[in-house]
Every structure is written in C-alpha cells, then in structure tokens.
Amino acid sequence: MHHITKINRIEEAVQAIGVTEQTLTEEEKNSLNEKGFVVFTGMLDAAELETLRAKYEELMEKEGMNAGKEVHQEEGTRRLSDLVNKGECFDSVYTNQKLLAAVYHVLKREFKLSSLNARDAIPGAGLQALHADWGSREEFEPFHVCNSIWLIDDFTPDNGATRIVPGTHKLAGYPRDYGIDPRERHPQEELIVAPAGSVCVINSHLWHGGTLNRTTKTRRAMHAYFTAREHQQQLDQAAYIRKRTYDRLSPAARYILDV
C-alpha cells in the first residue's frame, strides 16, 4: 500500500524514497563537485548480484540479436535496454537512495530517469572514445545529465573498466576541442577499479568511456542514466511502460520514470 497517491515534485519523490541532507557525506558531495564522480561500494549484496547476473544472461539469451535495440547496439559489446520493464529486480536500482541523492546533488533541479540499460565489454573489445553523455556545454551552464554505472562484475585494471578524466565535467565544449585523440589514453585518466556491487555515479559531462577488455571473461554493468526533467529521455519511459510494471511501482518511482 502506498500512502501518497500523487507526487508533483522531485523533492517529494526523493523524500518519499528516504533521501535526506545526510544521505551523502561531505566527502561524497565534494568528490562529485570537484572530480565529477563518486564510487559507492557495497550497494548490491551477493544474493542481489546473483539474481542480476542470472537475469542478465537470461535476457541476453532471450533477446539474441535484438538485445539493446530499444536504445543502442554497439560492436564489441552486448547491451540490454529498457530494463525497467524486464524484471522486478531492477526496481531497486533506479530508486536507490544514495543514487538519487547523488543525481539531485549534481543536477540540482527536477530530473527523471533517461534510461536503464546494461553493457558488457566482450573479451578483446570494448574500447570507447572518451566522451561526455551530452554535447557541448558552456562553462557556467547548469548540468543536464548524470549517469551511474552499476558493477555486476568486478572492474579490474584489465577487463574493460570505465575510464574517467577527473574534473573534465567543468570544461566547456567537446573533448576534441582540447587537442586530444579521444581513443588514446589520456594522461590524467583514471580507471574505475572496484568490486562487483559498487556503483560509480558520474556527472556525465565528465569525459569517460569503456576500455579494452584484455581478459577472457566478460565485464557486465548496468547504466542508470538520468536527465534534467526538461529534456527528452533516451528511452521514452511512458511509451514503453508495461501495465504490470506500472502497477507494482510506488508513486515516487512513477514520478522518477515520468510515467
């Protein structure tokens, strides 16, 4: 039973989910402000990881060549899209307290889920150009998008862990405006190396990208991607929402999806 029937503001939605001023530590807020990302460890326990891994493979098997199509397919990777509608196990991902506190901290205004996807770098592939999940932004323009990477497998120095260039979320323009080759290693880049169950929230104006998986095992992750509410979603959640998903969601979750 949900006590509140209708939510009209993002502040009400995140409060209903339990987010407070204390949900993030000062250190976590500073990391988002200055470096443009923060890593939370221990966000998924062993049982949740097992469920998510099994679901991931079940969906890959079921969707085959179509996997990822609702949003994006990418050579050298396996991708899934529209996870909101593909299992109850995903409900707690995009409604997680720490995640929503971090997204609100970055965007500082009304927001909604843009998409909930998954991506793994298959052995021998996965290198992406350094990119921001948004086009060119002026230096003092507000931030528009915030992403989160949910590690379903450990991210190691060799298995295609995401790279980020700290502080670049503050830069105007595109990576190419700074005279770099976005496919090459950047002198200031850092790899997100963390155990499965960790979540890296990135202000996704930050330059980032997948790296080459040099191991023989795949590297799976989910991306819960958010946008300021005035923009279009990467996946039109209202168009895709299934009745059985809608019916089980809280008013706060529906508000976050904008359905």
Ligand X SMILES: O=C(O)CCC(=O)C(=O)O
Summarize as ranges the residues that interact with ligand X (CB under 6 A).
Answer: 119, 128, 162, 208-210, 221
Is the Cβ of residue 214 or residue 251 nearer to ligand X in the bound state?
214
Rounded to the nearest whole angstrom, what is the least distance from the CB of residue 189 to ligand X in the complex? 13
Token output for 196: 């499965």
CB of 162 to ligand X, least distance (A): 3
State which amino acid sits at residue 48: E
248: amino acid identity, one letter: R
Q: How far is CA 249 from CA 2, 58, 112, 258, in A?
A: 9, 23, 15, 12
The smaller minimum CB distance to ligand X, of residues 36 and 210, is found at: 210
35/254 with CB nearer ligand X = 35
> In whole angstroms, what is the distance from residue 144 CA to residue 133 CA?
9
Q: How far is the CB of 175 from ligand X (least distance, A)?
A: 13
Scan for tokens 């500073």, then name that residue: 30
Question: Which of residues 150 and 255 has its CB atom nearest to ligand X in the complex?
Answer: 150
Min dist CB 65 to ligand X, Å, is 19
Name the H helices within the chain: 10-16, 26-30, 46-63, 91-94, 97-107, 237-240, 243-248, 251-257
In the bound state with ligand X, the residue whose beta carbon lies nearer, of 175 and 209, is 209
Q: How far is the CB of 25 from ligand X (least distance, A)?
A: 25
**Are 149 and 198 a contacting pair, CB within 8 Å?**
no
